[in-house]
Amino acid sequence: MSQSGRRPSQDVDYSPWKAGAELSSGQRAAQEEHLRLLEETGARFGDSCFVSEMACVDVDSLDMGDHSYIAAGAYVTGDVTFGRHCSVNVYTVVRGDVRAGDGVRIGAHTSILGFNHSMSDPDIEIFRQPLTSQGITIGDDVWIGSNAVLLDGITVGSKSVIGAGSVVTKDVPSGAVVGGNPARVIRYRTRPGPLAHGTSLASRLERFADDARRSARPLLESHWSPELGLFTSHPSGAPTTRAQGDAIEIADLLLGDSPPQLPREELVEQLRSLQDSSTGMICALSADGAPVAPPHEDADAQTAYHVLSTGYALDLLGSAFAHPITMVSRQGPADVVNSLERLPWTSEVWGAGDRTDILATAIHWNSARSPHTSEGQIETVIGWLMRHVDPVTGMWGSPRAGDGLLQIVNGYYRTTRGTFAQFGVPVPHPERVIDTVLRHAEDPRWFRPDRRTACNVLDVAHPLWLASQYTGHRESDITELAQAWLPDTLGQWIEGDGSSQASGASGFSFRAPHPRTVGTQDTSVSLQGTEMWLAIVWFLADLAGVSASLDYRPRGVHRPEPASQPQPSQQVG
């Protein structure tokens, strides 16, 4: 007897990794007979496998590779495959259609459930309704912590880690460390990449798009204030002008319609009422939903952005501004040049790009109302930009010592979004643009998992997409980056409980959720974060060649087509 009072074989039952060294000849013979009997029920075993006689193995099929084991108290049923060096530790449940690769280590008391109950008919008791099974696929070199729960239909990528107590309801990217309920990406062991074992990026995108569509209505409802009749920036926040535009873009993208909270005509009237008739600028909203005093031409960046967000929201609703934007309509070519030359191109390129975007978008809206009022203006803007572009970087301005290439790349996105992209003009030096953006994308100060924001990632994805329309330069590098970033981005989706309550809606936060930033407002689900990351997913997917799997395409501020081209109809599955 051992000091614990158990037979030596019982020690191995609970610690089966000891089987190779501690089994006596008699115990080894008993184990071989036990495996032989299991083989008669449809099991197959590689060399040096161990299955405790204290485990319940009642399978349709079981295939275990060399040096794999099942410990005491485990419950294994269904069609199960394990590769080499896999462990099913004590009191673990593995049921249904489960396929695991090599080196998969499963902690005690874990449940891996490759089947589910259907419950479509409320008049029939659930236990009488048929079972369904999509199966669970687990890659190589995966560690699943104790008390984790893995639900049917997921794929766990190779080299990933599932934290103890996690509830995994969605695919886990290769190399990801996930945790929580529901499990979310915390960080990466390895560079993110496509999922293992045959699960394509395309199929994951299809599933993501379906989930996003199902979540759209609760998301909009959670950000709607019925008392004010307005959308709020966050579920517990105040209404903002941008939130109205973000809600309309999300509804158009995922529902193929306007938000259900108000009739389309009322939404149009609400947005048009925010434009000041004398300046044409768009008002902000106070905490009680009242328009703030009309902004002037030099409004701050947040207020000036309303020219984009409100203008494109009206466009999606089939309407337009009621008044011209006079800061533009009264300018001749010389005034446009003076406006551009006053911008801080050498010290704050993002700010200069922001103002250029606002200027060019105002020209676009005015031209749509009355073409002759904007004659020659956009040609002047693009001509000035062509003369001042840096042929070495393909961008404007110079890098700053404190933030590397951040300013010039982010400034490039805003500058080109409103000009070259919006008006369908080829960008200058696209090869140099790609070189600069790819170099910037390697900077961990901005693209570490705990530092990724929608702005910084969009300002990489869109310039790469735009420049690649005019050159095949470094195509494989761009595709590799897109394929690496996509699983990470999809892993940032925050899964709520499906309700329309503040904490229940699913969506994206502006900043990627991470343990170091948990609890901050910019890591909670928001309309702005969801609208921006949905566009990012599309651009990355298109760079990776799989955007058709999303079955949606941005049609507002982040639309890929020039604004002069007809918008493609939105297909909603």
Residue from 67, 85, 109, 117 carrying the catalytic annotation: 117
Q: Comparing C-alpha atoms, which of 213, 188, 242, 203 is closest to residue 452? A: 188
What proportions of the chain, in percent to the nearest 5, are helix, strand and coil?
40, 15, 45
Report how far apart, in Å, the C-alpha atoms of 144 and of each of 84, 109, 189, 262, 357 are: 16, 11, 14, 46, 48
Dig out the tokens for 275 from the structure: 């434009």
Q: Are strands 184-193 and 174-179 parallel, antiparallel or unpaired?
A: antiparallel
Q: What are phi and psi of 440, to 5 degrees?
A: -65, -40
Number of other residues whose CB lies within 10 A of the CB of residue 146: 16
- Judge whether 24 and 5 are in contact, CB under 8 Å: no
Whole-number Å distance between alpha carbons of 356 and 416: 9
The angle at the Cα of 388, spanning 386 to 392, to the nearest 5 degrees, equals 95
- Note if 514 is an active site residue: no
| In the block, residue with structure tokens 């900043």 | 511
DSSP 68: -
CB 352 within 8 A of CB 411: yes
The Cα–Cα gap between 76 and 110 comes to 12
Cα-based distances in Å from 105 to 87, 143, 169, 447, 567: 5, 5, 19, 30, 50
Structure tokens given for 227: 């008392």
The Cβ-side half-sphere exposure at 291, using a 13 Å CA radius, reads 14
> Is the preceding omega at residue 263 within 30 degrees of 0, hence cis?
no
CA proximity to 425, closest of 470, 388, 387: 470
Q: Annotated active-site positions, please?
A: 117
